[in-house]
Structure formats: C-alpha cells, structure tokens
Structure 1
Amino acid sequence: MDDVTDGKTMLPAAAWRDRPGLDRLAAALGAAAGEARYVGGAVRDTLLGLDVADIDIATRHAPAEVIARLKAAGIKAVPTGIEHGTITAVSSGTVVEVTTLRRDVSTDGRRATVAFTDDWREDAARRDFTMNALYADPLTGELFDWFGGLDDLAAGRVRFIGDPYQRIAEDHLRILRFFRFHARFGDAIDAEGLAACTDRANDLMALSRERIAAELLRLLVAANAVPVVALMIERGILRPVLPEITDAAGLAALAAREAAEGLAPDAIRRLAALIAPDAAEGVGARLKLSNADRKRLRAAHDGPGDEGPRALAYRAGPAIATDRLLLAGESVAALTGWTPPRLPIGGGEIVARGVAKGPEVARLLRAVEDEWIARGFPDAAETIAIADQLLSSHSSR
C-alpha cells in the first residue's frame, strides 16, 4: 500500500502527481522548505490504489501570503474560502485547494471559527478521521501520520481522531460521514465511533437538510451502502431526521437488481427504495431536493406500466422509466443504448390533411402517437401511413 525508503514511509507514485503545474505550485508554496504538503483524500486514495480526483495542499503560509506567492509565480489564485484559509490555485490548468494550517477556536456542531497556525500536528488534530489526517511531502513523497491513520487504513477501520464525542460535537455531520466512509472504505467497524454516533444521533437535527441530503446521497452509492444503511436503521441513526426510513430490504433488492443489470448505483433511486410511496413528497421537500429529483421520488413506485419498457421511457423519460422498472423488479435491458425518438410528424401534417385547427388536431395527433408507440416507434413513412389511416376512419364517421 505504501513504500518505505530509509525507514520513512513514502507515498507511492501515482498519475495525479504528474499533473501539469503541480511542481510549479509546490515550489511557489515552499515545499522544499517543508512549508506545503499534500493532505486528505488524495493521499488516502493513493495509498488505497484508487483514482484521485481532487488535490488538497496544506501550507504553513497565511492566506495573504499564499495569494502573494501564487501571483508571483504566475499561478491563478481564487479566494474561494479565504475566511477559513482556503485559496483555489489554478496552475497550468490543474486545480488545487490550498488551505492554511488551522486550529479550531470555537465550534457549535454546524460551523467552526478557526485560527491559523504553523503546527502540522495541530492541523491534523482538528480533522475528522485518522485516514483523512495523512500528509505527504510533494517532492519526496514522505508520509506524516500523527494518529495511526496508516494502520487504520490498512485495517479498513474508520476511526475518529481522539474522542469521538468531541469530534461529533464539533461537527454533527461527522455522524453521517462516519457511516459513509465506513461504507466506502471500512471492514470491521470501530466500536467506539459507532457507540458515539448512536448516542449522538439526535444531533443531526441541528444540521441543515441540504447538508444531510448531500452526505446521505453520497453514502447511498458507496460500495457497502446496503449493510451500512441496515446498521444505521438498527442503531436509530436516521430516525431523528428521516423517520420514514425503517427497513433496508427494498434497498438490498434494488442494489441486487442494479448489479444484475450492470447499472451503476443511483442515489435518488436508492433513496426511493428506502421510503414508502406516500412519503416521497415529504422526504423530497424536507431534503430540499431539486424538482427533477422530487419528481423521480414520487414516480419511482408507480410500477412498470403495461406498454413495455420503451413506451414507458418515451412517456416518462429514461430516468423515471429505469427507476420504475428496477423498483418493480423488471429488466431494463430494452433501454440499453436506446434513446427515445421524436414523433416524426406534428400537428401541421394533420391540418394539411383537412382537419381544422383546434382540439381535434391534438386529439388525432395523440391517437397517432399512441399507435406509433404501440407499433414500436416506426419511421416517418409508416407514421404518416398511421395518420392517414386514422384520418380516414375519422372522416368516415
């Protein structure tokens, strides 16, 4: 998982470490003098052999100094979260979040007031889990681990840094993050962390529903989401904010169907599998989901319909059709690689055949569309023939 050189544990080589502009950024931030280090997910995921998307660098320099150094090096600096010490650096197209080392001054479970520091261990101590508090020298790859994160990563153990209750008191969202990280990386669950999350589950009520939704939806698509959600239900973790979720059986059935069909997990579909149809509107509103996602939740349990998968996809849209079919235990093979076509004719063709403009045109066009769907979406020539046949029946009345 990691390399050892001269007794030092080293970050393995990885493609992301060769992204353009990273060397220039590291030099600008004083990496050679030990003033900047990679931290967090990029380090963790590299050690696990996973692809890295986002890169974070921690630095001893104050935010104003970071901006000055980046500008002097010709690197774009965007003060995206400067009150918390975060500058977004864009170096030769590579985007990196650069954050000054911090310590918490005060926390209330939802937000923190921070002060800047130059102490690496102090910065690590305010992070959530040991596996997220690993730092690496950008030049040598040497790893720095103050809280046993390497051992926890090797063991598949998601463990809070220090006292779990204190970490949760600082940010209540860490309850959900504990389970999400366990669903993604965990093997044997950390008993102390589980006990603290169980005891403090009511703290979730203090969080914004947007934060809860974002974390929950990410959890639902993790590799081991099914057993972890079942554990959360057993422990009453979701009860304070989502009492509608009481059984993971529907999620388990859906996950099995997704796997059988070769489909990637879908968070909204999986959320729908966890709630009863009559709860969809309330849950969607409470979590402040988008209108499109709320529509999917409401429709997910409407069944497969009686016209076939492609007709359903044409009428309801591919996403809703896929939801409805999978939650009904039906196959979506007919939709693979298929895009719903457009009806080849419009109202103009009906009017051109002698029907006066008005409601009758719309009625006849719907009849043509119904027959076109029933025949499997034929081409324009056959669709015109369908229209002529229906118009002939209409005019003979």
Structure 2
Amino acid sequence: MAVMILPGAEWRQREGLAELTAALGADAARYVGGAVRDTLLGIAVTDIDIATRHQPEDVVDIVRRAGFKPVPTGIAHGTITAVLPSGPVEITTLRRDVSTDGRHATIAFTDDWREDASRRDFTMNALYADPLTGEVIDYFGGLDDLAARHVRFIGDPLRRIAEDHLRILRFFRFLARFGDAPDAPALAACTQRARDLMALSRERIADELLKLLVARDAVRVLRLMIERDILLPVIPEVDAAGVARLETLAANEAAQGIAADPIRRLAALLPADPAINEAVGARLKLSNARRKRLASAFQSIGVEGAPALAYRIGSEGAVDRLLLSGDDVGAVADWQPPVLPVSGGLLVQRGIGRGPDVARLLRQVEDRWIAEGFPQADRAEAIADAVVAQFLGEESSKNA
C-alpha cells in the first residue's frame, strides 16, 4: 500500500508547534485523532492532539524546557496541555485499558503505539501522523474507512460499547458527521445495548446529542436512531414527529442562511410543550439559560412583530421562534436591539414619586416606544411626558 502523507495544512505551521514536536523527539511523538482525520478530509482543524511515549511527568519537564507552559489538565490520565503562542496543544502518553465499567476506565501507560491505537473507538480516529515527515500510520484500516466514509469500531462493537457506553451516541454522531451507510455490526450492537445509555451521566449524553444535532446528516441519522429506539431509554419524548419538525427547521435554516444551532434543533426535536421541554432540559442538566431558551422556543411570536419580539426576549430567542414557525428572520438576524432612551430618573424629574409607580409607568413608556418602532430620544421623551401627564391627571381626579 502506498504511503499516505498528511497534507501541509495551516495548523501544522502554528507558532511553536515545530519546536514542541522537536523537543518531544521524532520517534516519541505523533499527531493523532481528529487533527489527522479532519486534515485528510479537508476540514479545518481547531484542536491538536499529540500522542507520546514519554511519561506525563517527563512531558511536563520537556514542555517547560522547550520554553512553553505545561498545564496538568489530565495528568492522572496522561494528558498535559502545552500552551503555545498559537494556542493549546494536548499531549497524552500512550495508554492501555486495565479495566472498564462502561463509564470509567482504569488505564496504564505504555510505549506501544498499536496498543494505544487499539483502545480508541473508531478506525478513523486511530490514525497517527509523523510530525516531521507527515507519514500517516494506520493500524486498523482507518484510511480505507475514511475514504469510504465508513464509521467502524475497532474490534468487536459489543466489547467496545461495554468499555464505554457513550460510544453508542458517538457512533451515531460520527455517522451523522462523516458516515454514509451505517456499519451493520456497529448498528446491531448499538441497538442491542441502547439501554446501557441509562448508566451514563446526563451531561455526557447532552454533550454528544447536541454535537450530533448540528452534524451535516443529523436528520437522516436521528431518523435511524428513532427507528432503532436508541434514545428511548434516556429521552423518550423524541419521536418520528420530532424528526420531521427538525427536518423542516433544517430546511428553513439553510434557506435563510442561518447556522444550525443545537438548542434550537433540540427544541424542534421535542414536542411543542414548554413544560416537557423544561423537563428535558433539566434532565440533561443544561444551563439555566439553555433550559429557558428551550422551553420558550415554541411560544407565540406575538402581534408586535419580529423586532419587538427580539427586543423583549433577545435576538437569539426571536430567531428560534421565527425559524421554528417558518417565518422570515431577516428583520432580526443581525439586528442589535436599541436601548430605551429614557429612564426612571426622567419620570422622577417630571413629578413621579420614587417607588413602584416609576417602574410601572416606565413599562408603559417602553411599550408605547416599542409599538412606535423604537423612535429616537426626543420622541421617547414625548411619550414619557404623555404617560406622566395621564398618570398625574388620573391621580388628581382621584383626590378631587
């Protein structure tokens, strides 16, 4: 088989990278994983990972002697982050699994490249490259699988899933991002062991699911997952109707030139019920902001129009609602909501006593200002004067 050479991608010229790999040594360090895979696919690389034969403590010294800052981000598992002028690079000592329980692995360090490769999930993720020559090292047929867009487990799929249950979701995410027809043994194993997902933390499930939702072929793969009841143990609310809504949303995003967003797409996948969406967001341990956005995604746009909606709930939330309802987002996609030109202090100057009346009247001013299309300061002050005059007149009538 002809030798495959890694193309000279931009990331390989990053400042400090050549010095770092030289310090680690030609036969003791190789690029690995996503940087190699994505470069071969012509995809932009953001994260650089290096596998090394050096022990973690030695890596710390090597990085420091090379003039860079070492950060022990995961030293117990062999990972050191080298902070270069051009950004971080993760360096991980070659490893083998001693024991696994589907959620965590006990590892030992090794100096055997093939042993390190054998513990990785898919063949396309077990590709290494020599930093100096660019030669790609492939132990399990990953190059052929990559060329065929074939997502295949290394070894027995059932065994690999038993080692780490998250690999079920990773299989479908990689299928949605890189794959073509699903690997039959892998699909059968994922289907058989879908209930293993219940043992995982909801944060890990959410992380994989949100990444899957924005993959290029998310709709097709999610439809396959629903057919196979993959998500049923952890998110039973997702069904074929949800995938149909997601398909419509994805078409709307593409037609209007709006980037796919994982929370918006999750909202489409779930029933249009704020209570259900809030419950799912809580179950997945999403942040409060994401849960609120998820729960409000299908609420009414209102009669005030898109700019008013964007002003009240933010442009992001407005875009969600408009896209999910099939409406045009042009009026708010790049719109920066203005700031109300008047404040409570102006109302006090106009004779309103400090307290709840100020807040209530300011909301009235804001509502009229929004209804008039966010006019400039002079008109906003005129609106405030009218609101104050009406209030003082009513108060005068009460006291007469």
**Pair 1:170 & 2:167 matched:** no
Match of 2:31 among 38, 60, 66: 38
**Pair 1:28 & 2:23 matched:** yes
Greater Cα shift, 98-107 or 272-281: 272-281
Query: Shift of the alpha carbon at 1:74?
Result: 2.3
**Pair 1:124 & 2:117 matched:** yes
- Could you tell me which residue of structure 2 aligns to residue 347 of structure 1? 344
Q: Aligned pairs, how many?
A: 390
**8 Å Cα contact 2:315-2:333 kept in structure 1:** no
Q: Given the two structures, how large is their TM-score scaled by the length of structure 2?
A: 0.95
Match of 1:273 among 259, 268, 272: 268
**Pair 1:18 & 2:18 matched:** no
Match of 2:294 among 294, 297, 307: 297
Query: Matches of residues 18-97 of structure 1 in structure 2 within 5 Å?
Result: 18-31=13-26, 34-97=27-90
Q: Any idea what SS the aligned residue of 1:333 has?
A: coil
**Pair 1:321 & 2:318 matched:** yes
Find the aligned partners of 1:30 and 1:270 in 2 and give their Cα distance: 45
Greater Cα shift, 374-383 or 64-73: 64-73
- Could you tell me which residue of structure 2 aligns to residue 390 of structure 1? 387
Q: Any idea what SS the aligned residue of 1:20 has?
A: coil
**Pair 1:148 & 2:145 matched:** no
Q: Any idea what SS the aligned residue of 2:331 has?
A: helix
Q: Any idea what SS the aligned residue of 1:138 has?
A: coil
CA RMSD of aligned residues (A): 1.3
Letter in 1 for 2:225: M
Letter in 2 for 1:322: V
Shift in CA distance, 362/66, structure 1 to aligned 2, threshold 3 Å: closer
Match of 2:244 among 226, 243, 249: 249
- Could you tell me which residue of structure 2 aligns to residue 362 of structure 1? 359
Gap runs ≥5 in structure 1: none
Shift in CA distance, 218/393, structure 1 to aligned 2, threshold 3 Å: same
Greater Cα shift, 117-126 or 60-69: 60-69
Shift in CA distance, 22/358, structure 1 to aligned 2, threshold 3 Å: closer
Shift in CA distance, 347/94, structure 1 to aligned 2, threshold 3 Å: closer
Find the aligned partners of 2:85 and 2:339 in 1 and give their Cα distance: 43
Greater Cα shift, 336-345 or 104-113: 336-345
Q: Any idea what SS the aligned residue of 1:104 has?
A: strand
- Could you tell me which residue of structure 1 aligns to residue 398 of structure 2? none
**8 Å Cα contact 1:314-1:340 kept in structure 2:** yes
Query: Shift of the alpha carbon at 1:293?
Result: 0.5
Query: Matches of residues 225-264 of structure 1 in structure 2 within 5 Å?
Result: 225-247=218-240, 248-264=243-259
Find the aligned partners of 1:315 and 1:70 in 2 and give their Cα distance: 50
Shift in CA distance, 92/333, structure 1 to aligned 2, threshold 3 Å: closer
Query: Shift of the alpha carbon at 1:163?
Result: 0.5
Match of 2:96 among 84, 93, 103: 103
**Pair 1:336 & 2:333 matched:** yes
For residues 42-84 of structure 1, the C-alpha deviation after alignment (integer angstroms, 9 at most, x for no partner) is 0000000111001011111111222222223223211111111
**8 Å Cα contact 1:157-1:189 kept in structure 2:** yes
Gap runs ≥5 in structure 2: 395-400
Work out the percentage of aligned pairs sharing the same amino acid: 67
Q: Any idea what SS the aligned residue of 2:300 has?
A: coil
Find the aligned partners of 2:362 and 2:53 in 1 and give their Cα distance: 69
Letter in 1 for 2:327: E
Letter in 2 for 1:249: A
Find the aligned partners of 2:324 and 2:333 in 1 and give their Cα distance: 17
Q: Any idea what SS the aligned residue of 1:335 has?
A: coil
- Could you tell me which residue of structure 2 aligns to residue 283 of structure 1? 280
Find the aligned partners of 2:74 and 2:267 in 1 and give their Cα distance: 34
**8 Å Cα contact 1:38-1:135 kept in structure 2:** yes
Find the aligned partners of 1:175 and 1:152 in 2 and give their Cα distance: 18
Greater Cα shift, 330-339 or 200-209: 330-339
**8 Å Cα contact 1:303-1:325 kept in structure 2:** no
Letter in 2 for 1:196: A
Letter in 2 for 1:325: L
**8 Å Cα contact 1:10-1:143 kept in structure 2:** yes
For residues 257-280 of structure 1, the C-alpha deviation after alignment (integer angstroms, 9 at most, x for no partner) is 111121101111111111121311
**8 Å Cα contact 1:285-1:294 kept in structure 2:** yes
Find the aligned partners of 2:287 and 2:145 in 1 and give their Cα distance: 37
Greater Cα shift, 346-355 or 306-315: 346-355
Q: Given the two structures, how large is their TM-score scaled by the length of structure 1?
A: 0.95
Letter in 2 for 1:200: R
